[in-house]
């Protein structure tokens, strides 16, 4: 639900799985949806559909395997980077709403935490 709300707030027409995968790919271009499905006990078809969604919208592209081991690699396209930036901004704004009465200039540690959490788009596992 968090990813659905974040996408809606950002004005992004992506499924929660696609939002999550976009963040994961940004962190690790060698992201393997099948491995993520095993690791997090998710439906592999859900993640496969999320990857297809990202490709269909031109948000990711296949990248050459720099290591030469044949592992698939994905890169965010400029459009994918822009969408991720919107998702991160929406996440940051939602977190800031939770602490609306705080003054960032007086609470640098809270400002740093909100900034770090807002970048963790790929950390929340889709339902």
Confidence of residue 53 (pLDDT cuts 50, 70, 90): very high
**Which pLDDT does position 83 carry in this prediction?**
96
State pTM to two decimals: 0.75
Q: Which of 22, 17, 1 is nearest to 83 (CA)?
A: 22
Q: Encode 20-38: b = buried (16+ Cβ within 10 Å), e = exposed.
A: bbbbbbbeebebbbeebbe
Please report which confidence band the pLDDT of residue 117 belongs to, taking 50, 70 and 90 as the band edges: low
What is the Cα–Cα distance from 48 to 36, expressed in whole angstroms? 11
Distance CA 78, CA 24 (A): 16
């Amino acid at each position: 639900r968090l990813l659905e709300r974040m996408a809606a707030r950002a004005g992004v027409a992506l499924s929660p799985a696609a939002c999550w995968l976009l963040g994961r790919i940004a962190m690790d271009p060698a992201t393997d949806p099948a491995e993520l499905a095993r690791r997090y006990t998710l439906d592999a078809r859900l993640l496969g559909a999320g990857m297809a969604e990202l490709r269909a919208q031109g948000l990711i592209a296949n990248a050459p395997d720099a290591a030469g081991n044949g592992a698939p690699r994905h890169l965010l396209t400029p459009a994918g980077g822009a969408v991720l930036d919107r998702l991160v901004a929406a996440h940051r704004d939602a977190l800031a709403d939770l602490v609306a009465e705080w003054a960032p200039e007086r609470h640098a540690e809270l400002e740093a935490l909100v900034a770090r959490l807002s970048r963790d788009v790929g950390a929340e596992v889709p339902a």
